[in-house]
Amino acid sequence: MKTKYELKAQNIIKVHKNRLFVTLKKGAESRVRYLNPRNGEELILAYNPKSHALPTVTQKPDNVLTLKKKENGLSYKYIFDAKYRINPALPGSAYQQIYQNPGPQEDDINTMHRYRDAVVYETTGSHQYQQGMFGAYILFPYHNETEYLHHRFYKSIETVNIGGLPFLPSATNLVEKQL
């Protein structure tokens, strides 16, 4: 992101007495805010975003990316949830028969459905709710991005905006494309 966007603010990395500290605390919100210099849009990546009261059960996704459009003031929110597990699609397994190749666990995809559908916002003063998340993605450890392009959970991003994205230091192209 640092090559395409201008860093405006962050509260994750701090320097104190010539020492560098990374401050990601479970339960405490941390943010990085970027500005797109080409169109003025703002991107905010929040770890442990502040939750608000929901009509049912509070949901706590780990990472939420908010895109604030400059021309109309609308905000679009997306969940990126890092999972450190992968289904290897072992030969003869049910996963391999359905999906052919390694990918995220089915229960992690189901969690993304739950997050996206459960996080809602009340329209001011109306007691009516609207969906707050436009997409939800599992980030999982897998290196072969080219092979994964044909996976059902990658293709589902185009149709229902829920799916999985390989994410390793050597595999960031599909995440960058999504951003």
Residue 14, judged by CB atoms within 10 A of its CB (0-12, 13-18, 19+), counts as: exposed
Q: Please answer whether residues 22 and 13 qualify as being in contact, where contact means their C-beta atoms are separated by less than 8 angstroms.
A: yes
Q: Please answer whether residues 56 and 112 qualify as being in contact, where contact means their C-beta atoms are separated by less than 8 angstroms.
A: no
Alpha-carbon distances, residue 116 vs 60, 111, 131 (angstroms): 11, 9, 8
Give me the phi and psi of 104, to 5 degrees please.
-70, 160
Q: With 90 as the cut, is the pLDDT of residue 21 above it?
A: no
DSSP labels, 74-96: -EEEEEEEE----B---TTSHHH
Alpha-carbon distances, residue 39 vs 3, 8, 35 (angstroms): 15, 15, 9
Q: What is the rounded average pLDDT of the residues 131-142?
A: 89
The structure tokens listed for 21 are 């500290």
pLDDT band at residue 104 under the 50/70/90 scheme? very high
Going by the DSSP 8-state scheme, the letter that residue 28 receives in this structure is S
89-117 CB burial, b ≥16 within 10 A, e <16: beeeeebeeebebbbbbeebbebbeebbe
Going by the DSSP 8-state scheme, the letter that residue 71 receives in this structure is T
Helix (H) or strand (E) holding 32: strand 30-35
Global pTM reads 0.78
Q: What is the model's pLDDT at position 147?
A: 95
pLDDT cut 90: percent of the chain above it: 35
Q: What is the model's pLDDT at position 157?
A: 96
Going by the DSSP 8-state scheme, the letter that residue 123 receives in this structure is -
pLDDT band at residue 145 under the 50/70/90 scheme? very high
80 compared with 133, residue with greater pLDDT: 80
